[in-house]
Amino acid sequence: MRINEERLKERMERINSIAVTEEDGMMRLALSDADKEARDLLVSWMEEAGMSVRVDDMGTIYGVMKGRDEKALPICVGSHMDTQPNGGRYDGFFGVMAGLEAILTIKESGAEFDSDLMVADWTNEEGARFVPPMLASGTNAGQFTAQWVYDRQDTEGIRYEDELKRIGYKGDKENRLTKAKAYLEPHIEQGPVLDAKGISCGIVTGALGITGLDVTISGEANHAGTTPMSHRKDALVAAAEAISRIRKNCIDFGEPAVITNGIINAQPASKNIVPGSVYFSIDLRYHTDEGMAELEKQTKDIIHKTCAELGTTAEIEQYWRAKPAIFNETIVRCVEEAAAEKGLSAMKIISGAGHDAVFINEIIPTGMIFVPSIKGMSHCPQEDTKWEDLVSGAELTADVLLKLDKETV
């Protein structure tokens, strides 16, 4: 398959001209006006191509190109168009546009296909506005209830459901994708491996599991000048010590274990008061369920032990968990074969990032394609991928869709 490069580039640039920040980053937060503008364009292009368009109750958009066999299960390809604040140009968005272009290329080539070919734009994959991430795909997979998602609020107290209605993208539950022959997600790697090795294609075999924890350490707020060091119950000192120890423990646990503390807030947040309470977030990732559970246990034990030593206490709540994903062997093989036939350098790789594919993998045979990220930069304005790699990824997507149409998955 050979895509229409000019069309793909023009459309990607059009959407990436929406809500550009001063640093040249993207600001299409889920269910915002910028997200609506991008969605409206996507729907117009689907309809222009003769696809039927439907929207589910989580706001996910599906464009469907009819196949020859009405009894065949559909094959879905896609990702998401929402971004992080001041985010990158290709994270998620490439998968939607590559999927759309791949389906149009197949149709325009005259190639015959039995299954309906479907492209999906999942809602709120990033979790930047409504926490946690991957809310729409997670609801499809039975991880969340619709009402729980509807009641998620952003930092201004605005509800998910209210924004869905406001921008006109609250559809019907019956439109959810719950059955398909296969789901394929093209994506930028968001890491440095492919770029560093000079490899054009990542054949994604699975993804790390993710555990999200909220930690609140309680000590005793007191005067900064009159409270002797020996009498202090400093919540910030306990948090700092705990963060240092759980980081070292994660390193000792071994690769591919990673830990991130992305948010830390001390209260009462005064320069001359010993902090009485500190909140910090934890993002833990590992590639097996058993290892993830053990790493989480060790992390919690270290925090509680540290707090006990320093006269403080800790409350730890798990706000999110995504199981490690092992992708479908047939889809992985199809990607591998298509890359070889296209003459692309390729390697098998595990995704360190969470994707909608992780949840969809629970209900539908799933696979992913990675294209390189220059210097591994992502979730920032510096996120970039060579144009030739984007083209190859879109063409590879078309080749894989055709292979999957003929396969028993």
Domain 209-322 -> CATH class: alpha beta
Percent of the chain with pLDDT over 70: 100
pLDDT of residue 247: 98
CA angle 343, 187, 408 (to 5 degrees): 70
Q: Which residues of 202-223 are buried (b: 16+ CB within 10 A; e: fewer)?
A: bbbbbbbbbbbbebbbbbbbbe
pLDDT of residue 200: 98
Q: Is the dihedral of CA 176, 178, 182, 187 positive or negative?
A: positive
CA distance 120 to 97: 10
Q: What is the mean pLDDT of residues 237-248?
A: 98
In whole angstroms, give the CA distance from residue 134 to residue 123: 7
Question: What does 357-379 look like in DSSP terms, one character per residue?
Answer: HHHHTTTS-EEEEEE--GGG--S
Compute the average pLDDT of residues 260-275.
97
Cβ atoms of 171 and 120 within 8 Å: the answer is no
Residue linked to tokens 């770029």: 195
Question: Does residue 256 have a cis peptide bond before it, meaning omega lies within 30 degrees of 0?
Answer: yes
Residue limits of CATH 3.30.70.360 in the chain: 209-322
Q: What is the pLDDT of residue 282?
A: 98
Residue type, 398: A
pLDDT at residue 130 is higher than 90? yes
Between strands 201-207 and 346-351, the pairing is parallel
Q: Residue 6: exposed, middle, or buried by beta-carbon count in 10 A (0-12, 13-18, 19+)?
A: exposed
**How far is residue 325's CA from residue 362's CA, in Å, rounded to a whole number?**
8
Q: For residues 305 and 242, what is the distance between their CA atoms, to the nearest angstrom?
A: 9
Q: Which CATH superfamily is domain 5-207+324-406 in?
A: Zn peptidases (3.40.630.10)
The rounded mean pLDDT for the chain is 97
CATH 3.40.630.10 domain residues, the chain? 5-207+324-406
* Interhelix angle 387-406/329-342, nearest 10 degrees: 130
Q: Which of helix, strand or coil describes residue 239?
A: helix
> Would you state the structure tokens that stand for residue 142, as one six-digit string?
């039975």
**H helices within 168-203, ranges in order?**
193-197
Residue showing tokens 């010590």: 241
**Rounded-to-integer distance, Cα 78 and Cα 187, Å:** 9
Q: Which are the contacts of 213, defined by CB distance < 8 A and separation ≥ 6?
A: 281, 282, 284, 296, 299, 300, 316, 317, 318, 319
Neighbours of 344 (CB within 10 A): 18
Would you state the pLDDT for residue 233?
98
- Residue 224 three-state SS: coil
| Alpha-carbon span 260 to 246, nearest angstrom | 10
In the numeric block, the tokens 């060579």 are attached to 386
| pLDDT confidence of residue 335 | 98
Task: Examine the pLDDT at 63 and tell me if it is beyond 90.
Answer: yes
Q: pLDDT digit string (tens) for 192-202? A: 999 999 999 99
CB 325 within 8 A of CB 285: no
Is the pLDDT confidence value at 42 over 90? yes
Could you tell me where the DSSP H helices lie in 168-234?
A: 193-197
In 145-285, which residue ranges form alpha helices assigned H by DSSP? 146-150, 160-167, 193-197, 235-253
Instruction: Return d(Cα 359, Cα 43) in angstroms, integer.
Output: 24
Total Cβ atoms within 10 A of residue 176: 20
Closest Cα partner for 287 from 357, 358, 333, 352?
352
Percent of the chain at pLDDT > 90 equals 99
Angle between helices 93-109 and 5-15 in degrees, nearest 10: 150
Confidence of residue 322 (pLDDT cuts 50, 70, 90): confident
